[in-house]
Amino acid sequence: MPGFAQSAWNTIKKQTKLFNSYTFREPNMQSGLDTSPPVHRWMKDSLDRTAFHKSLRVLGVCVPATRTTTILKSEPLKRYIIDLPKIRSVIWDPSGEKDRRVVLLKVTEEAALSPEARSFLKEQCADLTEHMVDLKYDYWTADEILQSILPEALCDDSPTGFSITGHIAHMNLNHKYLPYKHLIAQIILDKNPTIKTVVNKLDNIDTKFRFFKMEVLAGEPYFVVEHRESDCRFTFDFSKVYWNSRLHTEHDRLVQLFKPEDIIADVFAGVGPFAIPAAKKGCAVLANDLNPDSAHWLTKNISTNHVSDLVRASCEDGRDFIRNAVLRALQDPFPAYPGPKLRRMQEKQQQRRRRQEQQPTGINPPTMESPLAPNLSSRNEVTQFVMNLPDSALEFLDAFQGILAPLAEPEGQLSGIYSTMPMVHCYCFTREPDAYKAEADIRQRAEKIIGAKLEEARLYFVRAVAPKKDMYCISFRLPRNVAFAR
């Protein structure tokens, strides 16, 4: 038990360290150069980009083009070379002489240079000249622009955080920023060329299908996205299904635990973030979701990623799916896993067939024969259950009661197949901030609902969702007495 909780706590510390590594660029103050944007706290309803302009007077070293490198690499001057983002340190001589360059410095007067630097410039017979560096709206980051617009009381926490799904930036704005939501969204849109739509999550959640309702703050009101993750391509309507790009690491972590020979029963499959990468690995998957829109896009993504032979989609209640998954795998087994080498050969055959199908009408090139598969037994044993519905997945654990009992008349009929019970990976929330208390809370709730002590249980911290609300995954071996309960 202590080791179980300590493992979760170590994961929390790693996640926190990773989160803290992402910081915003502060306004750049270099040797008296104030590069912060002009302050315009009057902006609220509309964004005036032309108001963001600043000219900086700096010194430049005018030298023949052949001596530019000497100036840039000289020790006395190296620390004075301008190094502002998006600003070139070497420019053409404004006088128009083609064989001369100007090396810009980050000082405004010669007195700011060290005696060694002034002596070096004298030795090089270099001329000092004034130059104006113009900074415009495009120069500053979204965070810097917002810091100059928002009231000072709102500048402590940056509201520029968002997740990206396809062409959509998904924000979850705190209520204090809502009066400025359209301004914030427009700046996000400006500063991220790949984003076409900015939306904000609303408080109300669809109670049946659990996707977040949202409002468009800027950009095109188009929600069908194409998103790439784990070498897979997912297409779906972001306004009608659940998707969280921040769970990419968790999707990958769990799929890495699966063996290619496994049969996965994905109870709340969504559009396939677990099911399709698992199938790409070679796993067979029974994938289910109650939301008809999720089931629709899941079916499309199965076809798009060419795993139709390994993933079977359904649209039904999670409890019914859990109770029927074992019987479905028995009555309609999946082909045996052919091994990595043969699997690659089969994929190449599929690619050839797809290319031939795209050929114009007429005589097609001869089709190569598929390699003969080895004589392996088919797969008919569900080895992993995935329950990714953290808000209520624990409540579905009672559906495992007796899932093998109707097929065991007598019980020995299944003993050869289910000599080892399936693993269950159940996502959930807890409001216990302490790792030990979180473990005790989740284990107690799970054992109460499933009706037995958990075996081989491990708890994994996924992410902090909100203050005093963390997401975990509890993985355990399905108790045999639960599976065969009568």
Residue type at position 486 = R
Residue 147 φ then ψ, to 5°: -65, -25
Angle between helices 435-450 and 2-20 (to 10 degrees): 120
Q: Among candidates 287, 253, 263, 247, which has minimal Cα distance to 423?
A: 263
Q: Which residues are annotated as a binding site?
A: 251, 289-290, 317-318, 388
CB 445 within 8 A of CB 431: no
CB 109 within 8 A of CB 32: no
Dist CA 212 CA 223 (whole Å): 13
CB 346 within 8 A of CB 370: yes
Backbone dihedral region for residue 31 (phi beyond 0: left; psi -120 to 50: alpha; all else: beta): left
Q: Among candidates 419, 359, 351, 430, which has minimal Cα distance to 390?
A: 430
CA distances (Å), origin 345, targets 232, 260, 342, 359, 369: 19, 16, 5, 22, 11
Q: Kindly tell me the burial class for residue 278, based on how many C-beta atoms sit within 10 Å of its own C-beta (0-12, 13-18, 19 or more).
A: buried
Contacts 24+ apart (CB under 8 A), 47-54: 47/183, 47/186, 47/187, 49/137, 49/190, 50/137, 52/136, 52/137, 52/140, 52/145, 52/148, 53/134, 53/135, 53/136, 53/137, 54/134, 54/135
Place of tokens 């076809």: 303
Q: Which residues are annotated as a binding site for S-adenosyl-L-methionine?
A: 251, 289-290, 317-318, 388
Dist CA 430 CA 375 (whole Å): 48
Dist CA 436 CA 120 (whole Å): 65
CB 474 within 8 A of CB 458: yes
